[in-house]
Amino acid sequence: MEIWINPACSKCRSAVSLLDAAGAEYTVRRYLEDVPSEEEIRAVLDRLGLQPWDITRTREAAAKELGAGEWPRDAGTRDRWIAALAAHPGLIQRPIITADDGTAVVARTEEAVRDALSR
């Protein structure tokens, strides 16, 4: 499995601690440094079963500057949202764990991390 993290994020550090405590094998992707491409974001969204606006941190300064909170949330603007996430990776909700079974979870809670571990 892989976990997308921002090391400064307490939820990310907590998720990593839970993975370590469970003895899980995983790779860490510091997505602010190793920025996911639009294609990678699409793939993760498919694995999550979510839309880009579902994982966008719309309260961040960059989102406010872009006016993302006001963007339509529909198929016609999906690419715009994905492009914004690729251009401003700090807007991506974190942490995200991609599980070995091809699924993914936004692992902001202990339950979500345990769910990923069970896959």
Active site residues per annotation: 9
User: Residue 90 is which amino acid?
Assistant: G
Say how far apart CA 58 and CA 33 lie, in whole Å.
Answer: 20
Percent of residues in the chain assigned helix, strand, coil, to nearest 5 = 50, 15, 35
- The total number of residues shown for the chain amounts to 119
- The angle that helices 78-87 and 38-48 make with each other, rounded to 10 degrees, is 120
H/E stretch holding 50: none
